[in-house]
Amino acid sequence: MPSVETIVPSSDGVQKLAQALDTTTDYLMNGDHDEAVAAQLTDRELLKQFKEVEMLSPEDKHLVKTFIDAFLTKRHIQELAK
């Protein structure tokens, strides 16, 4: 039986695991979540704001998520109405 160090998951397996864990394959492979997020989020001001939101209380985080969700829902409805 091979040791754990010699087992390499398939790329499909890594992608499915990343989706199940709600993270990126970069994070699973490299372990550096901040770099993976920064690579995906090019607006530095927005990235800074999200980092600040992470430090809020769970209640305040929920409120921020609710505001974002409401804004995005409104935008989608406006796009559909065009």
Every domain of the chain and the residues it spans: 1-40, 44-82
Chain length of the chain: 82
**pLDDT tens across 18-56, in order?**
778 777 777 777 766 566 565 566 777 887 888 899 999
Give the per-residue pLDDT at 18: 77
Q: pTM of the full predicted structure?
A: 0.49
Phi, psi of 2, deg, nearest 5:
-70, 155
Residue 23: DSSP 8-state: S
Give the per-residue pLDDT at 69: 92
